[in-house]
Amino acid sequence: MFPVTGRRSGGEAPTSLATKALTILASFTPERPRLTLSELARESGLALTTTHRVVGDLLAWGALERGSDGAYQIGLRLWETASLAPRGTPLREVALPYMEDLYEATHENVQLAVREDLEVVYVERLTGRGAVRVLTRVGGRFALHATGVGLVLLAHAPTDVQEEALAGPLRRWTDLTITDPARLRAVLAEVRRTGVAVSDRQVTVDALSVACPVHGRGDRVLAALSVVVHADTPVHAVRPAVQAAARGMSRALGAPSALRRPEGIRPRPSRPRSGRSGEEPPL
């Protein structure tokens, strides 16, 4: 939702080769996953000759691929490299059995997210044909203050991060989006007190999100788990399942506060999803 733009303020082009390559890669968005060479030059603010040279290097390494029509797209090797991020694949592999059972209990959107700076990054999502529409996607970003997972992650973020977020601006998606810093501060305190965040029609008018923190070693909050349901669903109908699944994940990640096995949601045996599935995530 908040892609990094390639062009710097005032039209100043990036200088280092690494920055130029990253700026070109940042030109791709969910809305525009395929771009021509001239489009990449325009979006990145680089000269066409420079763009051609850097794109050639990215193609040779596998960070970009070129289609039969000449347009460029993100390459598979870049995805392979990105999958090594410790808050990505290892966390997902621990979480997926619990997410799958939570989905079976609700048949709605089940989402796992982490925080990066002032944004939520979604690392996994399960959904069904009858699930309510959401604006999120795996690998996508969203503001912290409006979503269930965002409220959880912001409530447990360092104080300076919270203060920066509260200083705004706080974007509004619907009439129910919290944009008042004082009210948001009170909501964050309630999330810390109860261990549950509820985002009621703050992003779309037909959806409600219930989220809980996922803890790791030392009880540090590593991620947030949520279920996004239709807005007319009672919170109490899904809250215990989300809490149980989050506690199960926390226990699997070695959180001291999750010593007791969760009730209700228990992970089923699942096949390893990659060669790294037997490893404990470095979280």
Q: How do residues 45-102 score in pLDDT, each as one tens digit?
A: 999 999 999 999 998 998 899 988 989 998 888 876 776 666 555 788 889 999 999 9
pLDDT of residue 168: 82
**Residue 260 CB partners (closer than 8 Å, separation 6+):** 247, 251
Residue spans in the chain of domains classed CATH 3.30.450.40: 89-258
With bands split at pLDDT 50, 70 and 90, how would you rate the model's confidence at 28? confident
pLDDT of residue 266: 46
Which CATH fold would you assign to the domain 89-258?
A: Beta-Lactamase (3.30.450)
DSSP lists the bridge partners of residue 224 as 113, 213
pLDDT of residue 226: 94
**Residue 247 CB partners (closer than 8 Å, separation 6+):** 212, 258, 260, 262
- Joined together, the tokens standing for residue 219 give 């009880």
Which CATH fold would you assign to the domain 9-82?
A: Arc Repressor Mutant, subunit A (1.10.10)
